[in-house]
Structure 1
Amino acid sequence: MEKRSHQAPRRFQSHPGYGTLTAMVVHWFCILALTCLAMSASAETAEPNHTENPGLPALDDAAHSDWIAVGRMNGAQFRTRSACTGTLIAPDTVLTAAHCVTGRNGTAQSPGNVHFVAGWLRGEFVWHSTAAAIDIHPGYSGTSGAQRVLHDVAVVTLADKAPSDLVKPLPLILDEPTPPPRSFGIVGYQASRSAMLSARLDCAPLGQSGTVMFLDCPVTSGLSGSPLLVATAQGWAVAGVVVASTGGAHGQSSVAVRPDDWLRSRLSAAVRGQAKPDAERVKP
């Protein structure tokens, strides 16, 4: 892939929360269809019908340079290809959803078939690397339903380190965030607009159960693996991963997973630049 770049920054804003959680959790797993948000090959080329869930609005072209660390996570398997979103949280480490980098049986794709493309905008990009290793949450494979969603996270180690003058990783919040009610955001590549970022930075939390958080921002195909962003005094930081969408009393909403002990340990090690144990890496 040829490396290209573009330019120009800008910023966003925020606003009150609501929501009783118990009913949402019961509905989520017992009544409503929860949709994982990987974008398939056909979704990328067809005209999707998003009348009921249009997803997130387009991000202004000029603002893309603020979010170069949020990239396309492209994967390829026999006869299939897919695209999600991933976030660079260290020069050689991407946080994404597990179902973005696994097959139907929950095992990781070959790392050489997984690509992270930073700054993708209408066919141009800032930087690219293939994966060198994929760490899937140990609670993901072999589970289904609630347990699979709870553990739908993966940490991808890249074959190369992103040059600091091109791509700066987004900071992390590994402890419980305590922002104002509408200080959450989601930025990613949705299927209906896969050549540019979509975003909302005024998402209100509808409730939380353990590490699972519901937000009122509707998400759709391609947005799996997008960062759950939270506003801090220093700017936006990554506080989790968007993994699914669901319906409810408030309409379409997003489902995000916050770090548990396993993910917190992996991300902390990545930020410190420590190599992960070979036994826990999926190699080419």
Structure 2
Amino acid sequence: MQIHTLILLSLTVIFAACGKPAEKDVSLKKERISPEQMSLIIDSQNITCGDQEFCPEGVARMFAINFEDVNTSSTCSAFLIAPDLVMTNSHCVYGKKLSLAKICSGLYFVFPHNGFSYSAQCSQIIWRDNRQQGRRHYRDGDNDFALIRLDQNIPLQPLKLRRGGLRAGAKVYPVVVDQVGGYTAKITKLECLVEKVMPKYGVVQLSGCPVISGNSGAPVMDEDFNVVGVIFASSDNTIRKPSDEQSLRVRSHTKGFAFSMDHIHKVIGHLL
């Protein structure tokens, strides 16, 4: 089955977005994509790891597809916390005027492993913050994290969740998915410092942490590969072209923002 050139172009550009579509371009017509076409794209994924010594199993490239208009589709990062359960951001599982079932039908996850990959789709959105409503900017009190049940077990090691690992001055490692193109992505380990902890909202500010679009939903890990938080935002998310993001990241003074696992446990611990 052939995939329309415009669809591929849309995927390459739109998939640079950090859990949301790029700014709406009124010149773009609605471009549909079928589940069959999306399956071909999923089967052709090439996801590499930038640091083989720190490349934990269970980190996934996440696709949020609107089959009726691919221009409003996006990508995020996600990670496995049980064989059939992933965690990501709430803003990654929102679609304007779409039902939960419709949103779930467009969620795909690709887990790379030793040159191979496992893929799965959403079977149920277990939890998301309905107040968050896919906003582009964080509002105090938003709980920008989500749990999604997969349609099959993934035979990889789920990541371990740890409370108490985010304190001021601690060194942490967000393991993010850099969205290079429609078919390609790279898992990248960042090295960041916990600069500020805001326990009232469960938010942690990370310095020297050049989070870029597409990294939303990535796990923040400690040196022992335990997940201590979840990335949800950046202090500068204006860059849209993946090539620009990669070249500018090395000179970036961007701050990253994450929810602590302590806060996530307070809100949805009964589901974990």
Question: Under TM normalisation by the shorter chain, which class is it?
Answer: 0.5 to 0.7
Contact 1:67 1:119 in 2 (8 A): no
Which one-letter code corresponds to 1:255 in the other structure?
F
Q: In the alignment, which residue of structure 2 is the partner of 1:187?
A: 175
CA distance in 1, matches of 2:137, 2:52: 40
For residue 261 of structure 1, report the CA deviation from its aligned partner: 6.0
Query: Quick one: structure 1 residues 63 and 82, their matched pair in 2 at CA, closer, same or farther if it must change by over 3 Å?
Result: farther
Q: Which has the higher contact order (CA 8 A, sep 6+)?
A: 1
1:60 to 2:58 alignment:
no
Q: Is the aligned partner of 1:197 residue 2:199?
A: no
The answer to which of 137-146 and 186-195 deviates more is: 137-146
Contact 1:140 1:152 in 2 (8 A): yes
8 Å contact from structure 1 (residues 72, 120) kept in 2? no
Unpaired stretches in structure 2, ≥5 consecutive residues = 1-16, 24-47, 237-251
3-state secondary structure, aligned to 1:141:
coil
Per the TM alignment, residue 100 of structure 1 is displaced from its structure 2 partner at its CA by 1.1
**1:212 corresponds to:** 203
Residues 113-165 of structure 1, C-alpha deviations (whole Å, 9 max, x = no match): 101111179xx6421111111121244239785437731111111111112xx
Relative distance call for 1:230 and 1:190 in structure 2 (3 A) is: same
Secondary structure of the residue that 1:157 maps to in structure 2? strand
Measured against aligned partners, the alpha-carbon deviations of 1:186-226 in whole angstroms (never above 9, x if no partner) come to 112123475221112x3101101120011121110110000
Change (3 A) 1:107 1:63: farther
- 8 Å Cα contact 1:141/1:148 also seen in 2: no
Name the structure 1 match of 2:89.
97
- Residue of structure 2 aligned with 1:112, choices 105, 126, 138: 105
CA shift in 2, pair 1:179/1:141, >3 Å: closer
User: Aligned pairs, how many?
Assistant: 207
Match of 1:128 in 2: 119
Q: Is contact 2:234–2:256 with CA below 8 Å preserved after alignment?
A: yes
Alignment of 1:7-46 (within 5 A): 37-38=18-19, 40=21
Q: How far off is 1:41 after superposition?
A: 8.0
Contact kept, 8 Å, 2:166 with 2:228, in 1: the verdict is no
Q: Name the SS for the 2:161 alignment partner.
A: coil
For residue 9 of structure 1, what is the aligned residue in structure 2?
A: none
User: Against the structure 1 CA distance between its residues 141 and 239, is the aligned structure 2 distance closer, same or farther, given a 3 Å change threshold?
Assistant: same
Aligned in 2, Cα 1:179/1:106: closer, same or farther, shift over 3 Å? farther
- Indicate the residue corresponding to 2:217 in structure 1: 225
Query: Partners in 2 of 1:139 and 1:263 — Cα distance?
Result: 18
Instruction: Flag the 1:130–1:208 CA change in 2: closer, same or farther, 3 A.
Output: same
Instruction: Tell me which residue corresponds to 2:63.
Output: 74
User: CA contact under 8 A between 2:128 and 2:147: conserved in structure 1?
Assistant: yes
1:61 offset after TM fit, Å?
6.0
Contact 1:137–1:263 (Cα < 8 Å) also in 2: no
Alpha-carbon distance between aligned partners in 1 of 2:141 and 2:213, rounded to the nearest angstrom: 16
For residue 181 of structure 1, report the CA deviation from its aligned partner.
3.0
Q: Which amino acid aligns with 2:192?
A: C
Aligned to 2:232, what secondary structure does the other structure show? strand
CA separation in 2, counterparts of 1:179 and 1:241? 14
1:258 deviation in Å? 1.9
- Matched residue of 2:271: which SS? helix
